[in-house]
Chains A and B, each alone.
Chain A
């Protein structure tokens, strides 16, 4: 400031002056916003790192082979016992059954949208698939409950009900990802097949699906990763149980997320001071350990999906 005023005290700044003089305010604002934007990203890292760190730190202690292979049957109070085997069985079976429902329906819908869909119906399906991804998970649970309560009476709780609830949440995800993958398949491949006299349905099965299979598998894995952590719908459709149940069609089932919630909500155990084998925080410890297993499963599914996507990408024409 002093330099300008002393050299030309009363003249307006020349054009050259304006062009060469660094505009401090604008530069400062620019720098400031760069810092703000970067720190927004760093802020997002805080919860991610903190969640993973706390789950790892609190869960690793209780996690042992024993914890993975026993159920909670006959475990009470602050006993230093109990595990998640029943919850793992339940999670695998219920999620597996949900996948069995969602993948055919989702894949066929995607095929319809890409290969057959024209006009108003296709537009409606596209729109409502998007809307369906936003259904609250608890509403999906209520729907499955309401559906099965008609046939089995009130208080119905067994594996398939939960699987239906999960598939309501899973199907739109499968549709979205498969549709995207099918659209990536170059049209030349389809036209080449038609030119050889292959009927349309066979072209879809043998050419289109085979080209897109990597992407579809990725999408399905991500969809599984998304519903495997669902808690609320399973809480109301499967209930809670402490023993192992291998039957999807009868009786309550435990799943990992519900197990975490159940242990958390049981809270601290009142321990007598002289009790040697009583751990006050046992429920929280089990919750953290189960959360660690759950997070590991989800992260492995995500990682696996990325690997499949990387190594089986569809041929992108030329």
Chain B
């Protein structure tokens, strides 16, 4: 895992440094003199060989320095601290929505295989992975925001933010009993979270359906049914537990995918999160910004994988025995 982090940082470092054109000249604007460009290049260490630059960058990380962002003109670490919680909140809400909806949909599909409900679910799932997210976002803004006026179109909050505890507005506002702020941030989250959860919802539903069908043919189901246990308990307590455990690895795959989608979704909804900053940074050649964001994504990837492994062991005790 550590090797992956180093690999990604080298790959991205090379990518952001081979960009044609001079990012400093672009950042300073057309009025900048040659001397000031030279000076800034020197200050940022861009006049040194690339491997020295990389080593200096790694040394900087050890000291908690991620460099200066050219688009926002401030420290990248500061930007990450400010914007990461918004993206984390968005993704957590989307994952929760996707999982909570996918479980009943998948189970119902499996129990009524090849019936109308199942076909409907399959079609919904197919639609979910086929919509371009930026377009779905725009259409939701158009319908629910502009035409019906239910939901806000952009942003994370309209009023004043709640007192800072975790930086997650939903959690903070609940902890401080600030129901107004809770509602405010909640309705701002609905549309982006909906768009972001569509494709994972489809994927998880499909997997749970397939796993449930697998489980149905196993002996323990017949035994439980023969002992007179109700169908509900059998399907939701026993089958679902096994079906969900193997779907968990899928969620581990889906979160990195969602971070990618968040780049587009946050951009459409002008959501002040790290993914939106990342998208702007990449397009504007903000090399320190790009490095910072990709490192955060990588660390998130490592953490999610670790968490999935641990959860897997909790849900399926056989794994612990094998270890």
Check if A and B associate: no
